[in-house]
């Protein structure tokens, strides 16, 4: 029986990806598995652990809808309930470790650099995009109050984590190092995948581990790339960096065209 799923994105339910790589990641995971869902705005105050995204999940009509949050934990729950297939089930232990390493590089390292670029280096466009007309649509006074609190919390978090202690030039170098590594994975994956393709399959997606289908790393990577290509005002430096890697842009374009035909594509230039 098909479950009833509503994905809360903290952005209006428009035909676009969001600035959040984690929202995009989860939405990609659902589409890779052809799971029907609807989108809604939602808010941090309604989320079970104050994280975006979160789901309203009703496995069957006779069950009470449940709110669950955190993109990784949501995926694990839906796999356990046999709603989603396990994309990594056929991987070897070493391949599973590589898949996890790519996800960790993006979510546990690069994301801190993204947060600094958005909420510190480009605070005002980020506040407007998340809390203003592009996002939650809050009145200016609430944007000022909530945005100020978010800013202070992020400054404290980044300093404790370490990213806040780097100079701007050091962050830029470390960020470039991550994207260079990601590009290397994408190029190798493309070469492996396309080498097996038959004529006429040249516009289908290719995958970061070079297999016949996506893995969990592809959900995370596509979510991250889509978010950076969408967030032109609050992450201009990373947008230019991502666009400097043609293989990464091609990777994202192919997935978009195959799984998100109903969504607007990102702008080609910043």
Residue 55 dihedral angles phi and psi, to the nearest 5°: -120, 145
The whole-number pLDDT of residue 196 equals 81
- Residues 4 and 61: their CA atoms lie apart, in Å, by 8
**Mean pLDDT of all residues in 119-128:** 95
Residue 135 has pLDDT above 50, yes or no: yes
Residue 45 has pLDDT above 70, yes or no: yes
pLDDT-based confidence at residue 199 (cuts at 50, 70, 90)? low
Which residue is associated with the tokens 């994905």? 7
The whole-number pLDDT of residue 72 equals 96
52 C-beta neighbours (distance < 10 Å), count = 23
The whole-number pLDDT of residue 7 equals 96
Residue 136 has pLDDT above 90, yes or no: no
Find, among 107, 94, 105, the residue nearest to 209 by Cα: 94
Tell me: the pLDDT tens digits for 83-94?
999 999 999 999
- As given in the structure block, the two tokens for residue 240 are 């230019």
Find, among 257, 251, 242, 245, the residue nearest to 207 by Cα: 251
Of 23-37, 62-76, 130-144, 211-225, the range with the lowest mean pLDDT is 130-144
The whole-number pLDDT of residue 171 equals 97
pTM: predicted TM-score of the whole model, two decimal places: 0.94
pLDDT-based confidence at residue 197 (cuts at 50, 70, 90)? confident
% of the chain residues with pLDDT over 90: 81
pLDDT-based confidence at residue 269 (cuts at 50, 70, 90)? very low
**Mean pLDDT of all residues in 173-192:** 97
**Sequence-distant (≥ 6) Cβ neighbours of residue 247 within 8 angstroms:** 183, 186, 187, 190
Of 29-38, 49-58, 190-199, the range with the lowest mean pLDDT is 190-199
- In order of start, what are the domains of the chain with their CATH numbers? 4-80 (3.40.30.10)
pLDDT-based confidence at residue 44 (cuts at 50, 70, 90)? confident
* Cα-based distances in Å from 24 to 10, 50, 64, 164: 12, 18, 26, 26
pLDDT-based confidence at residue 133 (cuts at 50, 70, 90)? confident
The whole-number pLDDT of residue 10 equals 82
* Cα-based distances in Å from 267 to 78, 164, 227, 232, 234: 33, 30, 12, 9, 14
Residue 268 has pLDDT above 90, yes or no: no
The mean of the pLDDT values for the chain is: 93
């Amino acid at each position: 029986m098909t479950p009833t799923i509503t994905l809360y994105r903290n952005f209006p339910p428009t035909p676009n990806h969001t600035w959040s790589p984690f929202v995009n990641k989860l939405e990609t995971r659902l589409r890779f598995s052809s799971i029907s869902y609807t989108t809604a705005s939602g808010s941090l105050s309604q989320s079970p652990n104050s994280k975006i995204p979160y789901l309203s999940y009703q496995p069957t009509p006779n069950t009470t809808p449940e709110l669950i949050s955190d993109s990784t934990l949501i995926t694990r729950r839906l796999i356990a309930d046999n709603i989603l297939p396990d994309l990594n089930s056929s991987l070897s232990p070493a391949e599973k470790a590589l898949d996890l390493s790519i996800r960790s590089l993006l979510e546990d390292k690069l994301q801190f650099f993204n947060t600094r670029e958005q909420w510190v280096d480009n605070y005002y466009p980020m506040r407007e995009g998340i809390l203003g007309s592009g996002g939650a649509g809050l009145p200016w006074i609430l944007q000022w109050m909530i945005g100020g609190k978010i800013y202070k919390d992020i400054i404290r978090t980044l300093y404790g984590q370490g990213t806040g202690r780097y100079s701007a030039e050091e962050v830029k170098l470390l960020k470039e190092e991550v994207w260079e590594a990601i590009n290397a994975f994408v190029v190798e994956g493309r070469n492996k995948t396309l080498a097996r393709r038959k004529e006429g399959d040249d516009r289908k997606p290719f995958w970061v581990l070079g297999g016949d289908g996506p893995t969990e790393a592809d959900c995370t990577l596509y979510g991250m790339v889509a978010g950076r290509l969408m967030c032109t005002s609050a992450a201009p430096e990373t947008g230019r960096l991502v666009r400097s890697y043609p293989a990464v842009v091609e990777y994202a374009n192919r997935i978009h065209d195959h799984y998100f035909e109903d969504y607007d594509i990102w702008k080609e230039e910043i």
